[in-house]
Amino acid sequence: MMESATVLGAGSWGTALAAMLAARGLRVQFYGRDEALMAEMAVTRRNGRYLTDVEIPAEVEPVSSLQALRPAPLVVFVTPSKSMAALAAEMGSLGLVDESTVLLSCSKGVELGTGRCMTEILHGVFPQVTVAALSGPNHAEEIARRMPSAAVVGCLDEGMAIRLQQTFSLPWFRCYTSTDVLGVEWAGAMKNPYAIAAGIAKGLGLGDNAIAALVTRALAEMVRLGVASGGRTETFYGLSGVGDLVATCYSEHSRNHRVGLMLGQGRSLSDIMGGMRMVAEGVPNTESLWLCARGRGVRTPLLDEVHAVLYEQKSPREALRELFSRDPRPEVD
């Protein structure tokens, strides 16, 4: 068991993870860049912006300056994927990471342009450090309230994977391990655009049959692109794949699903994004994943239509017509 950790990112997921690690007995430094929010949190023991009814344990120390952090054996990154590289570099420049530090990504995304997953970004900055990823059907709103959940830790070092598994195991949180780090990460990132698609379908008034078909075909696309990117097929049928896909496509907690729902109801993307306080990773990651699919020559008709709606001004109804007018083909191909 690790004795302490640093959690970087004061959104809902970061708040839930900080509280969970504290419940496991760790001392937690909880970093957020909003000085007023973190100062308020230190007094009220509540995150006044996210998960407002969840008490933050006394073992959690809110911090608003990276310079105020102390080195910790475990650093948990829970920041938007586009911020990962810059934050990692800053942590390195401040001497907060050495060869004994374990870096755990709880952010789900693929870097635009490079196609790198979050652990690949971290490994690029810290080549001698152990990196891992935690993923699964993990809505912060439920985990913070100690509702039963499960996740998988991906790490090439099996011994460290087990150590992290023990660190994140609680009576309401079951943790599994995997050495397929790329598969775990690609699955976690890829489900977000399909959650937007499921939300669009709901917003257009489609029924359970159509949405179930959409989710099933989304999984097929995830397997094709994920395996082409270095993941193992079986990983996509696990918690970070189909588990997270189902939760995100159907849950009211999913920001990506809500974005799709509003698009299907006729609202513009700029209007939707302007009214959101938290990042819907599916929006930027649709572009990243679409470019990766094109570069790898992988067929992704659902992803293509989500990209067209978000970035090519195609209407959701036209995207639906396009999908249903495609040439018939075998289910397994």
Residues placed in the known binding site for substrate: 108, 255-256
191 a catalytic residue: yes
Of 82, 191, 202, 314, which is the active-site residue?
191
- Chain centroid to Cα 34, Å, comes to 21
The helix/strand/coil state of 63 is strand
- Identify the burial level of 232 via C-beta atoms within 10 angstroms of its C-beta, where 0-12 means exposed, 13-18 middle and 19 or more buried: middle
Q: How big is the CA angle at 94 (ends 101 and 77), to the nearest 5 degrees? A: 50
- Identify the burial level of 300 via C-beta atoms within 10 angstroms of its C-beta, where 0-12 means exposed, 13-18 middle and 19 or more buried: buried
> Residue 117: beta bridge partners?
110
- Alpha carbons 7 and 14: distance in angstroms, whole number: 7
The helix/strand/coil state of 146 is coil
- Residues annotated in a binding site for NADPH: 12-13, 33, 50, 108, 140, 255, 279, 281
- Alpha carbons 154 and 123: distance in angstroms, whole number: 14
- Residues annotated in a binding site: 9-14, 33, 50, 108, 136, 140, 191, 244, 254-256, 279, 281
The contacts of residue 109 (CB under 8 Å, 6+ apart) are: 80, 81, 82, 84, 117, 118, 189, 281, 284, 285, 288
Neighbours of 277 (CB within 10 A): 9
Q: How big is the CA angle at 297 (ends 305 and 264), to the nearest 5 degrees? A: 10
Phi, psi for residue 63 in degrees, rounded to 5 = -140, 140
DSSP state of 127: T
Q: Which residues are catalytic?
A: 191
